[in-house]
Structure 1
């Protein structure tokens, strides 16, 4: 009989504080800003807003970009861990992630697809194939990708440098 994996629980806490009251609260759709601050103990403030399409401030992070960033970060961290465990020396990593969200006429919406485009540089040319293959394993380890209900794909490129 196979041994069941032991579960470990991790908890996280953040605070989101709306800062967009222009003096009349939400008295009308155009009468308030979507600005807010995302905070957590010991971390810098993330200035947030809604997407500019929804009257948000384009200079602030919106939830859609934060979700995309979380998926990209999670994949990268799992990938770097696997490379270190497998003796593959990564010297550079950048991901230009993209996501698609659709909305309907009720105002509801959802992400339908995310594609990660990790560009990885490894030290040893003999490890390029193994480094590329580890993206599949990283995808299965990523906590965030395992938590969403839409496809998260990856299209990596690996080179030496």
Structure 2
């Protein structure tokens, strides 16, 4: 079987003027991803519109989504019956640690399972999923998993 390459595309558009300096230009812009149009801005701390998503939030959402999808794949291959998954993820960018970057992402999945499976097995599968997550493997940020297991009734 041959090697397969996956290519991803996105479009981005911004119009305005930076002539009046850093404090005065509009950070709003539009991104097209997979046929969807996203209205984005900078984090409000950097002059952005708080009503719009920012790149840091999208990075966090991508890490959280990838962990979910990787875990579901690992769990399905292991015949584990996962019936729910919620995450309260957090990304931290510390201005006291230049250069600025998202230095830590904490994923807090709450995994609901059915059946008699030890918590240790579920946590192991979460770690396997983390190692298989394409997004986490692409980041230099520390990605931490703090999982909770819930039993389905």
TM, length-normalised to structure 1: 0.85
Aligned to 2:33: 40
Instruction: Compute the RMSD of aligned alpha carbons.
Output: 1.9
Aligned to 1:92: 84
Q: Does 1:16 align with 2:12?
A: yes
Aligned to 1:145: 136
The whole-number CA distance in structure 2 between the counterparts of 1:61 and 1:71 is 15
Q: Does 1:159 align with 2:150?
A: yes
Measure how far apart 1:98 and its partner are. Answer: 0.8
Measure how far apart 1:75 and its partner are. Answer: 0.6
- The 3 A distance-change label for structure 1 pair 101 and 11 is same
Q: More displaced, 122-131 or 7-16?
A: 122-131
2:123 to 127, 132, 139: 132
Q: What secondary structure sits across from 2:7 in the alignment?
A: coil
Which residues of structure 1 form unaligned runs of 5+? Answer: 1-5
Which residues of structure 2 form unaligned runs of 5+? Answer: none
The whole-number CA distance in structure 1 between the counterparts of 2:86 and 2:31 is 25
Measure how far apart 1:149 and its partner are. Answer: 1.0
What count of residue pairs does the alignment treat as equivalent?
Answer: 150
Q: Once the two structures are superposed, what CA deviation does each residue of 1:85-110 show, in whole Å capped at 9, x if it has no partner?
A: 1111111111111111123698x411
The whole-number CA distance in structure 2 between the counterparts of 1:67 and 1:129 is 29
Aligned to 1:30: 23
Measure how far apart 1:7 and its partner are. Answer: 4.8
Q: How does 1:32-71 map to 2 (within 5 A)?
A: 32-42=25-35, 44-71=36-63
Measure how far apart 1:39 and its partner are. Answer: 0.3
Q: In the alignment, is the contact (CA less than 8 A) between 1:128 and 1:159 conserved in 2?
A: no
- The 3 A distance-change label for structure 1 pair 104 and 7 is farther
The whole-number CA distance in structure 1 between the counterparts of 2:121 and 2:76 is 12
